[in-house]
Amino acid sequence: MLKSMIFCRECLCFLFKVMICYSMNRYIVKSLCSSTNKHLFGYRSILFGNTASTVVGGKSTTIFSRRSYCNNHNNSNISNSNSNELTTTSNNNNDTSISIAQRFQDSLLPADISKQARINMRSPKVDKYIHQAYDEAHQAFDRGDYETALKKYYWIIGKLPYDTTAYLQRSLVYEAIGRFDDAIEDCNTVIKMSNQSDSLAEGHMIKGVNLMRKQKFNEAIASFDLSLGLVENEVVFGLKKKALTLANPDTIIVPRFDDDYQFYEYLSREMEGLVQIKLSNIHGRGLFATRDIGAEELVFETRSVVSTSSAQLKEDDQHCHNCHIAFKPVEIENEQEISKSREFNRLAQTITRMTRLPVGRIIPEGCTQCNTTLFCSPECKEDGIHKHNSLCSSNILTRAQLDKFERELTGLTQTERVGYTMLLKLMASQSVNGDPNQPLRQLELDDFVKRLSYAMPASETVQLSRKDNRVFKTLKDIFHTLTPEIFYRLKSIVTLNQTQMFTSKIKVHCTPAPMDELGYNFEFEDKVSKYINTIPLHLSFMNHSCDSNVFIASPVINDKQIRIVSKRPIKKGEEILISYIDGMQLTTENRQEMLGESYGFQCTCPLCRSNTTIPTLNKIQ
C-alpha cells in the first residue's frame, strides 16, 4: 500500500511537471504573439527544432525550450563575459559606450543580488522580464535613447546568449550611434550561430548596411547577395543597387527591362490602364494597347518632365515659367463692350465651364528671392521652384554665370541654343534640392531620367567636342560636381527625347444673338500661345512611325496636361506609335533625312517602305 502511494505520488509529480512545461511554453508563445515590435522581414511565426522563434507585427523573439533555459542559466557567466568583449571590438569606441555593458547588464532585475540569484530561469515568470526588456528596448530606440536600448539588449543576451534577435536588434543600435564594427560583430555572431534563413538573411543585410557606412561597398554587395540568396526582399535589392552605384560613382546603373517591372508597371498605371510599356520589335521599349481603342478616343494624358521656350532663352512675363500656360488663357472678342452686358458674369461662367479656363488674367506668384520667375498657381510653384533654385538670379554669382552661359550660346543655331538651354534646365531639375554644391551624380538622377534613351559614347573615355567643352566648362561653374560623362549623357537624353510643341490660348468669337438667353452666340478658336521644347513623360517611351496611330490633341493649354488621342481604331496588343516630325509634302527621303539628323535612326514603317509622299504630317492635331 505504501509503495503504491509513493508510486502514485511520483506519477502525479511527473504529470505536474509536464503540465507546467506545457503551460509555460503556451504562455510564452501567447504572450509574445501579443507584442508589436519592429522587424525588417514582416510577419512570421517559425518553430525550429528545440527553439520557437516568433515574429508578430514586426517583433522577433526567440523562445527557448525548458532545456535551453537551463543551458542559458548555466552559461550566463560566459555570455556576460562575451558581452563585455563585444563592446570593445570597435577601434573608435568612446568611454561612455564601452562602460555600458559593465554599468547596465543586470539593471532590469532587482538591484539586490540575493533576490536576483533566487530567480528560477525555468519559471514562466522569466518571460515577463524578457518581454518587458524587449518592449523597453524598442521604446528607448524609437525615442533615440540608445544607451537605455543597449543596456536592455545586454541584459537579454546575458540571460539568453543564443537569442539571435537580441544580437540583430543590438546591431541596429550600434549602427545608430556609429559603432559600425560592433554592429558587424553582432551580425557575424548571428551568422555563426543561427540556422534559420530569415535570421541569416537579416544578419547579412544589416552587416551590408554597416559595411556601406564604412565605405566598403564591394563587401556590402557581397553581403546583400548572401541575404537575397536566403530571402528575396525588395529593401535588400534596393540597398544592393545603391551599393553598386556608390561602388561605381561614374557609372549609371539602370536595371534591365525584365528586372525593372515595378517602375514600368507604375508608369503604365498612370496611363489609365489602356496602355502598357513593353519591349518593342521596332526599338527598345514601346507602348502597347491593353484593349481595343476606338477612333478619336482619349488614350492617356501625360505631362512634361522639363521644358523651355523655343523662341528665347529667358522666359517672358506672360506665361507660367513651369507649365507655360498663358496668364490670360482666354481672349474674348470685343471683351470691353461685352463686359458691359448684364449677362457678362453668366457668359464668363459658361465659357469657363466649357473651356475649363478662367476668364480674365491669372495673378501669378513669383519667386520670393528674384521675383522675376513667375508661376500660375501655388501648386505649379511648388513643382517648379526646386528646378529654379539653382538658377535663381537673386544670387549675384549665379546671375554672372548665367550671363556667361548666354554669351557662349551667341552665334549658335536656334536648335543648338534651345538644346543647351534644355540641358541647363534638366541639370537644374536633377541637382539635389536645387543646391548646385550637391553632387550631380547618377545616384541623384531621378528614376525616370536615368532610364531615358541616350547614345552610347564611341569610347570608354568621353571626348567632348570643342563646342560642347566650352558649354561644359560654363555649366561646371554652376553645377560644381558635373562630370564630362554626365554632361554627355544628359545632352544625349535631351537630343533624343525632346519634342517641340506649342501651348494654346482660346479666342472666343462672340456674335450678338438677341433671342439667346445670354444674348450672344460664341465660337472657340485655338490659337498658338507659345512654342516650347519639352521632354514628355510617357511619350519618351513611344516609338515613331510616319504612319502613326495617335496624335497630340489640341489645344495644349499647358505642358502638364498633354492629351494623346487615337487617329484610327487600335487593336488590343497593337503598338502605340506617334510621328516625331512635322511637315508638308514630305517625301521618304525628306523624312529619313530629318529622322537621321535629329534622332539617329531610319524609319521602316509601311509608308517609308512603299516610298510614299505624305501631304501633311503633324504631331499636334
Give the cell for residue 92. Answer: 573608435
Please list, in sequence order, all residues whose beta carbon lies within 8 angstroms of the beta carbon of residue 593, skipping any fewer than 6 positions away: none
DSSP string, 563-593: EEEESS-B-TTPEEEE-S--EEEE-HHHHHH
Q: To the nearest whole percent, how much of the chain has pLDDT over 70?
A: 72
Task: Check residue 100 and give its pLDDT.
Answer: 46
| Residue 287, beta-bridge partner list | 277, 576
* Model pLDDT for residues 534-584, shown as the tens digit of each residue: 988 888 888 999 999 999 988 888 888 899 999 999 999 999 999 998 888
For residue 537, the 8-state DSSP code is T
Task: Check residue 357 and give its pLDDT.
Answer: 86
Q: How confident is the model at residue 313 (pLDDT cuts 50, 70, 90)?
A: low
Q: By the 8 A CB rule, do 343 and 514 touch?
A: no
d(CA 88, CA 71): 26
> C-alpha distances in angstroms, 293 versus 263, 566, 570?
24, 8, 5
d(CA 563, CA 503): 12
Q: Where are the strands (E) in 282-432, listed by range?
A: 285-289, 298-302, 304-309, 330-332, 365-366, 374-375
* Model pLDDT for residues 164-212, shown as the tens digit of each residue: 889 999 999 999 898 999 999 999 999 999 888 888 999 999 999 999 8
Return the ∠ at Cα 284 (arms to 279 and 285), rounded to 5°. 50
Q: In what order do the strands lie in the sheet with 275-279?
A: 275-279, 285-289, 575-578, 543-544
Task: Check residue 56 and give its pLDDT.
Answer: 28
Range 306-315 average pLDDT: 78
| Residue 332, beta-bridge partner list | 508
Please list, in sequence order, all residues whose beta carbon lies within 8 angstroms of the beta carbon of residue 400, skipping any fewer than 6 positions away: none
* Model pLDDT for residues 490-519, shown as the tens digit of each residue: 888 888 888 888 888 888 888 777 766 667
Q: By the 8 A CB rule, do 602 and 619 touch?
A: no
3-class SS of residue 597: helix
d(CA 346, CA 492): 51
Return the ∠ at Cα 99 (arms to 96 and 100), rounded to 5°. 90
Q: How confident is the model at residue 122 (pLDDT cuts 50, 70, 90)?
A: low
Q: By the 8 A CB rule, do 600 and 538 touch?
A: no
* Model pLDDT for residues 125-174, shown as the tens digit of each residue: 677 788 888 889 989 998 888 888 998 899 888 888 888 889 999 999 99
Helices (H), 34-142: 66-74, 76-86, 95-98, 100-104, 113-117, 125-142
CB 230: neighbour CB atoms within 10 A? 18
d(CA 483, CA 477): 12
Asked if the model's pLDDT at residue 53 lies above 70, the reply is no
Q: Which domains does the chain have, with CATH numbers?
A: 31-247 (1.25.40.10), 266-303+537-617 (2.170.270.10), 315-389+511-533 (no CATH), 393-497 (no CATH)
d(CA 551, CA 579): 8
* Model pLDDT for residues 348-369, shown as the tens digit of each residue: 888 888 888 888 889 999 998 8
For residue 2, the 8-state DSSP code is H
Q: How confident is the model at residue 253 (pLDDT cuts 50, 70, 90)?
A: low
d(CA 236, CA 16): 48
Give the cell for residue 571. Answer: 487593336
Task: Check residue 76 and give its pLDDT.
Answer: 33
Q: Which of 429, 617, 410, 620 is nearest to 532 (CA)?
A: 620
Q: By the 8 A CB rule, do 297 and 566 touch?
A: yes
Sign of the alpha-carbon dihedral angle for 562, 567, 573, 575: negative
Residue 615 C-alpha from the chain's centroid: 44
Q: By the 8 A CB rule, do 561 and 303 touch?
A: yes
Regarding predicted confidence, which is higher, 73 or 242?
242
d(CA 272, CA 441): 33
Q: Which of 203, 261, 214, 263 is nearest to 236 (CA)?
A: 203
* Model pLDDT for residues 15-52, shown as the tens digit of each residue: 444 444 444 443 333 333 333 333 333 322 222 233 33
Task: Check residue 456 and give its pLDDT.
Answer: 67
CB 110: neighbour CB atoms within 10 A? 11
Range with the lowest mean pLDDT among 218-232, 243-257, 590-604? 243-257
Q: Which of 87, 82, 90 is nearest to 181 (CA)?
A: 90
Residue 493 C-alpha from the chain's centroid: 20
* Sole residue written with cell 541584459: 155
Q: Which of 493, 539, 554, 619 is nearest to 303 (CA)?
A: 539
